Copies of this chain bind each other. A is one copy, B any other.
Amino acid sequence: MRIGILTGGGDCPGLNAAIRAVVKRGTSEHGCSIVGFRNGWQGVIDGDARPLTRDDVSGILVEGGTMLGTARCHPHKVPGGMEAVIDTIANEKLDGLICIGGDGTLKAAGKVSEAAGVPVIGIPKTIDNDVVGTDAAIGFDTAVTVATEAIDRLHSTAESHNRVMVVELMGRHSGWIAVTAGMAGGADIILAPEAPFDIEVIAKKIKHRHRYKNFSIVAVAEGAIPAEGTMWHGGATLDERGNPIAGSIGTEVTKHIEELTGFSTRLTTLGYVQRGGIPTAADRLLATRFGIAAIDAIVRGESHKFTAIQGEHIVLEDFQTMSGKTKWVPQELLEAAWDL
């Protein structure tokens, strides 16, 4: 069998580990040929493919990013895109396609599968962890680890200078990184899209805390939203696709806290370091298990499914399970974050 593989959407740590697992398991165990496409769906449109051997994936387990490159491209939104994709799949004589990506990448995979009559299996990756149907997606554990280390570092400056330190973390639609890294890093206030905030209430909490402590840490998801009807509900500035612009909500929160509390307040916008670099052990393991499950599934004829971890087990879920949905931070975890 000839199996194609691509990575789509934003990059994150662990993509290479998944590619490696597909190639090693696919070639050794199943006798497959693996074909890698450059830059996500763009490479399928362009026919930019190359065979991947065990040698090609040697040593990439620990490397961040993706050796295949990635791009935000959806073939059904590009004129002539679907036709080009069908041609490439025919030319490459593919018996299946493994797509590593988020919701957008897998949605495209579903359409391609139907149009080209080729089975597809998805592997979910997103540092935002908002994929329904799986406990975790590739990249999340590393992002939380990097964010937690940053909060650890900010603690000492906050305490030494009697300051409020605001740290804006990734998370446009859900607050997984802010909530979990905030809890792990001992943040005193955590703002996530799941629970719109009242800046005056936040300021009061900080003032109360500063009666017995001289510093505070505030973790803010980039998609956090001020509640309707509160003193300030400007929210984050949005880009043309409706996504918050990095730093914008953090800047506002920082300014308002300083004004309302009178305490010296500083912002750190962590940015791209959250999605790059060496994957954690947990992400390497998850990506490896997903890669194995994906190639095994496609070889035995499955399609329209994505690999998922549920408790200790790797399972397959229908594309339907995640499609168009967002996995929110559960109420129990949000409350735990607030109560400490």
Chain B: which residue is nearest A55 at the CB level? B212
A107 sits at the interface (CB 8 A): no
Are B289 and A336 closer than 8 Å at their CB atoms? yes
Binary CB contact string for chain A from 137 to 166 against chain B (1 if under 8 A, 0 otherwise): 000010011111110111111011110010
**Separation in Å of the A61 CB from the closest CB of chain B?**
5
Are B277 and A272 closer than 8 Å at their CB atoms? no
Are B281 and A24 closer than 8 Å at their CB atoms? no
A282 sits at the interface (CB 8 A): yes
A13 sits at the interface (CB 8 A): yes
Which of A220-228, A236-244, A263-271 is the interface stretch? A263-271
Binary CB contact string for chain A from 278 to 294 against chain B (1 if under 8 A, 0 otherwise): 10111011001100100
Q: Which residues of B contact A332 (CB under 8 A)?
A: 313-314
Task: Tell which of B145, B161, B184, B271 touches A268, judged by Cβ atoms closer than 8 Å.
Answer: B271
A110 sits at the interface (CB 8 A): no
Binary CB contact string for chain A from 58 to 85 against chain B (1 if under 8 A, 0 otherwise): 0001111110011100000000000000
A11 to B156 Cα, complex, angstroms: 8
**Separation in Å of the A66 CB from the closest CB of chain B?**
5
**Separation in Å of the A31 CB from the closest CB of chain B?**
13
A273 sits at the interface (CB 8 A): yes
**Separation in Å of the A120 CB from the closest CB of chain B?**
22
Chain B: which residue is nearest A68 at the CB level? B160
Contact residue range for chain A? 35 or more
**Separation in Å of the A272 CB from the closest CB of chain B?**
5
Are A153 and B146 closer than 8 Å at their CB atoms? yes
Q: Which residues of B contact A313 (CB under 8 A)?
A: 330, 332
Are A285 and B184 closer than 8 Å at their CB atoms? yes
Are A154 and B268 closer than 8 Å at their CB atoms? no
Are B336 and A292 closer than 8 Å at their CB atoms? yes
Are A276 and B180 closer than 8 Å at their CB atoms? no
| CB-CB under 8 A for A269 and B272, given A160-B11, A282-B144 | no
Are A157 and B281 closer than 8 Å at their CB atoms? no
A29 to B64 Cα, complex, angstroms: 31
A287 to B284 Cα, complex, angstroms: 22
Question: 11 A-B pairs, CB-CB below 8 angstroms?
Answer: A15-B160, A66-B160, A69-B159, A153-B272, A153-B276, A155-B276, A156-B277, A184-B284, A268-B271, A269-B271, A292-B339
A-side residues, CB < 8 A to B, are: 7, 10-11, 13, 15, 21, 24-25, 28-29, 39, 61-66, 69-71, 135, 141, 144-150, 152-157, 159-162, 165, 180-181, 183-186, 214, 266-273, 275-278, 280-282, 284-285, 288-289, 292, 310-314, 330, 332-333, 336, 339-340
